Amino acid sequence: MDMKKGRGRFIFFCLAPAVLLFAIFLLIPTIDVFRMSLYKWGGYTDNKTFVGLQNFNRLFHSDKFYQTFQNSVLLIVLVTIVTFALALLFASMLTREKLKGQNVLRVIFYIPNILSVVVISAIFSAIYDPNSGLLNSLLKLFRGLQAEPVLWLGDQKMVIFSLAGAMIWQAIGYYMVMYMASMANIPESLYESAGLEGAGRMAQFFQITIPLIWTNIRTTLTFFIISTINMSFLFVMTMTSGGPDGATEVFLSYMYKEAYTNSSYGYGMAIGVIVFLFSFALAGILNAVTRREHLEF
């Protein structure tokens, strides 16, 4: 009996610091965001007025908010699907195939991940430049020298896809390394026996690789949501400032603008609450949809 109590106390004291830190630095600030969303506040004074759910009411009647929401969802879907597919493909190729310069390729794919967003934005701003950019220079080879330049960051219908291109380029290496780590654990014998039984590369990929790294895939899907929401804000701030005319505004950049530039801190926090609930719900849905029997080797 004493032994059990002693173990309980030991566990309690081991966990207490972590729980305390979690509460102070994560739980309380999160609750504070919810609390502040109920106030009208400029952000720098004690001049706070309790307005209840008024901020949320305004939010749900704002076309601007729906536009930013639409942009954010588009980026989450697009960046997740393309990055996921390419990262899996590259990881599988680098793990399963015997390519020349494999290690060099691994490093090259991972480099974008260690560059800061500001550097990547500068690189892509140069690539997308209408007059001297790499993309338009390449296009001139096919479209002729006199062709009108494509406005990658100036065309309101195209700019969000241009932004997605930079985000995908930045993210592929990170997820590729994660998938490679779990693929490396799959025993070679499984592939050998599958090969002997006549399974081709594609069948092996879908029947062996994917099911056996499924737990890893599920985890990364949650990462995709969180990182796309965070990274889209950074890319927007450094590449387009939300323009032209708000065409690349995502909900975190809108939140930032309202909380600071428009002196509406409480309203900004209301956007924060919606983002929090949305990302939480989306991660939950993805988790539920992708649940399946756990396979082991």
Partner 1 sequence: MKKILSLAITAALTLSLAACGSSSENGSNSTKDSTGTNSATSTEQRTLKLAALETAYGADVWKEITAAFESANPGVKVETTIDKNIEDVIGPGMKSGEFPDVIHLATGQPKGLTETFVKDNNLTDLSDVLSMTIPGESVTVKDKLIPGFTDTTITNPYNDGKTYLMPMFYSPTGLFYNEGLFEQKGWKVPTTWDEMWALGDQAKAEGISLFAYPTSGYFDSFFYALLNEVGSADFFTKVTHYNEGIWQTPEAQQTVELIGKLATYTEKTVPANANKDNFTKNQQLILDNKALFMPNGTWVVGEMSKAPRAEGFKWGFTALPAIKDGGDRYSYTFFEQIWIPAKAENADLAKQFIAYLYSDEAAAIFAKVGAIQPIKGMSDKLDGDNMLFYSIYDNGAKAAMGAFATTDPVEGVNISDAVFASIDSLVTGAKTQQQWVEGIIKASDALRGALK
Binding site for partner 1 (CB under 8 A): 6, 9, 13, 16, 20, 40, 42-45, 47, 55, 58-59, 62, 64-65, 121-122, 125, 128-131, 148-149, 151-156, 238-241, 243-247, 257-258, 260-264, 266-267
Select 3 or 196, whichever has its Cβ closest to partner 1.
3
Nearest 5°: phi and psi at 152? -60, -40
Q: Is the distance from CB of 242 to CB of 248 less than 8 angstroms?
A: yes
Distances (CA, A) of 141 to 80, 147, 152: 32, 10, 17
Select 241 or 290, whichever has its Cβ closest to partner 1.
241
Shortest distance, CB of residue 207 to partner 1, whole angstroms? Answer: 46
Shortest distance, CB of residue 127 to partner 1, whole angstroms? Answer: 12
Shortest distance, CB of residue 148 to partner 1, whole angstroms? Answer: 8
Quickly tell me which residue has 């480099």 as its tokens: 111
Select 55 or 220, whichever has its Cβ closest to partner 1.
55
Select 94 or 247, whichever has its Cβ closest to partner 1.
247
Residue among 70, 39, 49 nearest 267 (CA)? 39
Task: Tell me the Ramachandran region of residue 206: left when phi exceeds 0, alpha when psi lies from -120 to 50, beta otherwise.
Answer: alpha
Shortest distance, CB of residue 46 to partner 1, whole angstroms? Answer: 9
Select 209 or 264, whichever has its Cβ closest to partner 1.
264
What token pair was written down for 21?
A: 């830190």
DSSP-assigned letter for residue 295: P
Number of H helices, E strands in the chain: 14, 2
Shortest distance, CB of residue 9 to partner 1, whole angstroms? Answer: 6
